[in-house]
Structure 1
């Protein structure tokens, strides 16, 4: 891949003409993880990049839910949104500190949430995310969570291979891998833009 050509394309199509060094670093980390993986379908890579673009609010860095600087701040923000009825898709306040003294709020490139998912993904990648859920913010861990979670369907049961295989490319419904239909059209658009850049730089 001609990475200079790829970055020039996404700089224009997705990032408003300018990329920060942190954005470049984050995208590079994802590209490097892809190269080291056994995945081969560029649509998978494009959809992961599009998902990270959305889930990290375009920072392309592992972030805490709400992009707060601390868990305490994130919990307060989420509590306010919950009280105002701004999160109708959320069934329970998973971010609140439980009897174990931990918050299972979203962290990473794909916003890993709920204790059960921390247990499941931690086991799958060989990292103890239960003792220290904040490890999901570490770049190498966040990459593994995204690649394994989306590749094997560990978030919702839906996986990349269900939507991108052979001639099939269901960019819209691929959002089910992470979060049902929430912002599905937006994420589909991001994925397609990354795919166009990848193909143009191949």
Structure 2
């Protein structure tokens, strides 16, 4: 091979080497130099469902049970659905078990004359004055309720699910709800107790913490698992002594049966 041929080969190899060096600068090679794809941002978490139905395996079955047991219906009204769902959701968010929810529902069922919506105590101004006012027939009862100003008897008559009664209880409920972030003034606006969510909150916190009679749900009912009729009867002390205790206890058994049959799931 002549010297010229060797020179031509060397020149060609140098040109190829230059091309490879240029290519390496444009597209890095090798495991260590491989480009790392940009990491995709994690998707936003899907918020957990938070309505009454989300706490049941068979939500519709709960209402089917109430219809079949003649507790509600035969056609359940929108108001009945609203009342039941508002109470169930308020209880479920607090981690209540079936016996506690059943007793809350039974209390509301009795106190609202089966409508499941918060109501004002039956009676007119004259009746409320006679029963609860400092100028009425029971001044000692008025003082017990904190009704020290004439007119308080009618203004602070029973309202809501547990029939909140008396200035002192309206003041207490206002303070307790404000501590939990509620923007309420039930002394200035007592009819706000008739709003389902406010009424449910008062009943849930009041029964749990003993606002009404110093007795609370812990005293007689298990936090988890079903309660007995005897336990439900004793629980009437939370609201109003033993008034209608057996009747309301029976309602609680029915509601509890429906909750269990529908697969109510207590939040841990």
TM range (shorter): 0.7 to 0.9
Deviations 1:83-125 (A, max 9, x none): xxxxxxxx7366x894366611001111000111111121111
| Among 135, 138, 141, the residue aligned to 1:92 | 141
The answer on 1:62 being equivalent to 2:118 is: yes
Corresponding residue number in structure 1 for 2:101: 45
Corresponding residue number in structure 2 for 1:106: 158
- Give ranges in structure 2 of 5+ residues lacking alignment: 1-55, 132-139, 179-183, 264-268
Give TM-score scaled by structure 2 length: 0.63
Superposition CA RMSD, Å: 2.7
CA contact (8 A) 1:65 1:111 kept: yes
Deviations 1:56-103 (A, max 9, x none): 00010011111xxxxxx63345568x6xxxxxxxx7366x89436661
Corresponding residue number in structure 2 for 1:157: 214
Q: Which whole-Å CA distance do the structure 2 matches of 1:60 and 1:197 have between them?
A: 16
The answer on 1:74 being equivalent to 2:124 is: yes
Q: Which secondary structure state, in structure 2, belongs to the residue aligned with residue 164 of structure 1?
A: coil
The answer on 1:176 being equivalent to 2:176 is: no
Q: How many residues align?
A: 188
| Larger RCO (CA under 8 A, 6+ residues apart) | 1
Give TM-score scaled by structure 1 length: 0.82
Deviations 1:16-52 (A, max 9, x none): 63422211111111122223x2223210000000000
Distance 1:78 1:130, change over 3 A: closer
CA contact (8 A) 1:64 1:74 kept: no
Q: Which whole-Å CA distance do the structure 1 matches of 2:63 and 2:232 have between them?
A: 22
- Give ranges in structure 1 of 5+ residues lacking alignment: 67-72, 83-90
CA contact (8 A) 2:128 2:157 kept: no
| Among 78, 81, 91, the residue aligned to 1:34 | 91
